[in-house]
Structure 1
Amino acid sequence: MKQVLAEVITIGDELLIGQVVDTNSAWLGQTLNPAGIEIKQITSVSDDAAHIVEAIEQARKRVDILIITGGLGPTRDDITKVTLANYFGVGLKVDQIALEHVRSIFAKRNLPMLDINEQQALIPENCIPIHNDRGTAPGMWFEDKGQVIVSLPGVPYEMKNMISTFVIPKLQTLFTMPVIRHRTLLTSGIGESYLSKKIESIELGLPPHIKLAYLPNFSTVRLRFSARGSSATELDLELDQIARRVKETIGNYLAADGDVQLQQIIADLLVKENATLSTAESCTGGYIAHLITSVPGSSRYFTGSIVSYSNEIKIAQLEVSESDLAEHGAVSEPVVRQMAEGARSKLGTTYSIATSGIAGPDGGSEAKPVGTVWIAVSGPKGTISKLHLLHGGREQVIQRSAMIGLDMLRQVLSDEL
Structure 2
Amino acid sequence: MKAAVVTIGDEILIGQIVDTNSAFIAKSLDKIGIGVVEMLSISDSREHILKTLETLQNKVDLVVMTGGLGPTKDDITKKTLAEYFNDDLVTDEAVLIHVEELIQKVMNRPVSQMNKDQALVPSRGTVLFNRVGTAPGIWMENENTVFVSLPGVPYEMKYLMDNEVILRLISKFKRPYILHKTINTYGQGESLIAERIEDWENNLPEFIKLAYLPSPGKVRLRLSARGINEEFLQESIKEESEKLKAIIGDIIVGYEEEESLEVVLAKVLTEQRLTISAAESCTGGRIAQMLTSLPGSSAYFKGSAVAYATEAKVNILKIDQQLIDIFSVVSPKVAEAMALQAKKIFGTDYAVATTGNAGPTKGDSDAEVGTVFIGIATPKGVYSEKFEFGQPREKVIERAANKALEKIYQEILKN
- Into which bin does the TM-score normalised by the smaller protein fall? over 0.9
Note the C-alpha offset of 1:223: 1.0
Mapped pair 1:53 → 2:50: yes
2:140 to 132, 142, 151: 142
Distance in 1, Cα, partners of 2:96 & 2:83: 22
- 1:314 partner SS: helix
1:312 matched to 2:316: no
- Give yes or no for the alignment of 1:161 onto 2:159: yes
1:130 aligns with 2:128: yes
SS class of match (1:320): coil
Per the alignment, residue 63 of structure 1 pairs with 60
Residue of structure 2 aligned with 1:256, choices 254, 257, 261: 254
| 2:188 corresponds to | 190
Q: Determine the C-alpha separation between the residues in 1 that align with 2:77 and 2:240.
A: 46
> Conserved in 2, the CA contact under 8 Å of 1:189 and 1:220?
yes
C-alpha distance after superposition, 1:289-345 (max 9, x if no partner)? 111111121111111111111222212222212111111221111111111110111
Structure 1 residue ranges without an equivalent (≥5): none
Letter in 2 for 1:312: E
- Please give the secondary structure, in 2, of the residue aligned with 1:284: coil
The aligned residue for residue 291 of structure 1 is 290
Equivalent residues of 2:329, 2:365 under 8 A apart: no
Alpha carbons 1:319, 1:338 under 8 Å: kept = no
Corresponding residue number in structure 1 for 2:395:
396
Task: From the superposition, tell whether residues 59 and 378 of structure 1 become closer, same or farther in structure 2 (CA, over 3 Å).
Answer: farther
Give per-residue Cα distances to partners, 1:29-76, cap 9 Å, x unaligned. Answer: 222111111111111111111112222222234310000001111111
SS in structure 2 at match of 1:318: coil
| Match of residue 30 from structure 1 | 27
CA-CA distance at 1:365 after TM superposition: 9.4
Superposed CA offset, 1:110-151 (max 9, x none): 211111111111111121011001100000000110311000
Q: Which amino acid aligns with 2:85?
A: F
Aligned CA RMSD, in angstroms, stands at 1.5
Counterpart position of 1:332: 331
Pairing 1:356–2:359 present: no
TM-score, normalised with respect to structure 2: 0.96
Residue 5 of structure 2 contacts residue 39 of structure 2 at CA under 8 Å; is this kept in 1?
A: yes
Match of 1:94 among 69, 76, 91: 91
TM-score, normalization: structure 1? 0.96
What is the alpha-carbon distance in structure 1 between the residues aligned to residue 255 and residue 43 of structure 2? 41
Match of 1:280 in 2: 279
User: In structure 1, what residue type is equivalent to 2:295?
Assistant: P
Q: What secondary structure sits across from 1:83 in the alignment?
A: helix
Distance 2:395 2:272 in 1: 31
SS at match of 2:414: coil
- The aligned residue for residue 225 of structure 2 is 227
Q: How many residues align?
A: 413
Q: Which amino acid aligns with 1:64?
A: D
1:393, CA displacement in angstroms? 2.1
1:357-381 deviation per Cα after TM superposition (whole angstroms, max 9, x unaligned): 1112222699522211111221213
Mapped to 1, the partners of 2:88 and 2:305 lie a distance apart of: 64
Show structure 2 runs of 5+ residues with no match.
none
Are 1:119 and 2:117 matched, yes or no? yes
Alignment-mate amino acid for residue 208 of structure 1: E
Q: 1:303 maps to which residue? A: 302
In 2, Cα distance between the equivalents of 1:165 and 1:117?
Answer: 24
Off by >4 Å, runs of 4+ in structure 1: 364-367
**Cα distance in 2 for residues equivalent to 1:192 and 1:40:** 25
CA contact (8 A) 1:375 1:385 kept: yes
Distance 1:63 1:361 in 2: 47
Mapped partners of 2:391, 2:113: distance in 1: 53
Residues 227 and 235, structure 1, Cα contact 8 Å, conserved in 2: yes
Amino acid at match of 1:155: V
Inter-partner Cα distance in structure 2 for 1:199 and 1:237: 20
Of 249-258 and 356-365, the range deviating more from structure 2:
356-365
2:371 paired with 1:372: yes
Match of 2:104 among 99, 104, 107: 107
